[in-house]
Amino acid sequence: MINIHPELCPSGPYCWNQERFRDLLPNLGIRMEQLGMLVAAAPAADKGELEARVRAELDQGSVCSSLSLDHQLVLGYDDAGFDLSQPWGEGVVDSTPRRLSFGTWQEFVQSPPVAFFKLEPCKRRSESTATASALDFAADFWRCPDQFAWETYGTGSQAYENWIAGLDSGHGDDHGNWWNAVVWGECRERAGDFFQRLAAAEYPGPVDPRPARELAVDYRALARLLYRASDKTASAAAKRGFVEQAKNLDERCIARIAEIRAH
């Protein structure tokens, strides 16, 4: 998957319609229910209602998380607000505040909407079903942008077009270029690992070893291209070239996944 804003905003990995993604989590034995989503400027009554719902889930022993500019666990609460995990460590980045203050949500005033979720264990799907649904998701994320893209963002080939436009508009040295390249590069590196395991029959499913090995090689090559596009010392022209190469290779990978699922 890939999702890019035309200005290479670092919000690309987070600001997309995630219902299909959450539908896949039972593949891992996890169910994720959205409790609500609001911006910090929302009416106080609406925020208070959502805060109360999250507190009630925590009181019942549920595992809860939040999502704005990153995923954070809700560790607990006191009279003033929620305690949030900081996955990158305290003080490393400013996108994962350690608190959310009740009433004001002041830590997230400049952030995208804050969503809260409940996570709970569920029966894990069979490996074959999980593999098929994961491949369908990958193909649909590229081919069906209306299912996933927020307004002004682009998924699949449009994401790459947005990325190239962002580079041409002078955003190549922005934090967002580096962040998107690293995140989507890691995504493709993990895809390479996934297809390598499919080739080794660690995940039983509808994929023959040979195309799985080929996809493992190509997704790792894709990761290297995007990591090169993240290089802060590279010129805008060089970054553009890496992104264009990645777009072409990504398209071929998705076409092969779709072909696998068609047989």
CA-based nearest residue to 3, from 156, 161, 191: 156
d(CA 188, CA 249): 11
Strand-pair partners of 191: none
Exposed/middle/buried for residue 5 (C-beta within 10 Å: 0-12, 13-18, 19+):
buried
Question: Is pLDDT at 245 greater than 80 in this prediction?
Answer: yes
Please give the C-alpha separations between residue 177 and each of 47, 246, 260, in angstroms, as whole numbers: 33, 14, 32
pLDDT at 204: 62
36 bridge partner residues: 116
Name every residue whose Cβ is closer than 8 Å to that of residue 241 and which is 6 or more positions away in sequence: none
DSSP of 54-119, one letter per residue? HHHHHHTT-EEEEESSSEEEEEEE-SSEEEE--TT-TTT-SSS-SEEETTT-GGGTTSSPEEEEEE
3-state secondary structure of 3: strand
Mean pLDDT (the chain) is: 94
| CA 209/CA 187 separation, integer angstroms | 21
The answer, yes or no, to whether residue 203 has pLDDT greater than 80, is no
Q: How many CB atoms lie within 10 A of CB 157?
A: 17
Tokens of 105: 């949500």
Dump pLDDT digits (tens) for 41-89: 999 999 999 999 999 999 999 999 999 988 999 999 999 999 999 987 8
Residue 205 has pLDDT above 80, yes or no: no
Give the number of residues written for the chain.
Answer: 263
Question: What are the structure tokens assigned to 64, written together?
Answer: 């809860």
- Residue with token string 């963002």: 153
Of 94, 92, 118, which is closest to residue 107 (Cα–Cα)? 94
- Over residues 157-199, the pLDDT tens digits come to 999 999 999 999 999 999 999 999 999 999 999 999 999 999 9
Measure the CA–CA gap between 51 and 106, rounded to whole angstroms: 14
Q: Predicted confidence band at 263 (pLDDT cuts at 50, 70, 90)?
A: confident
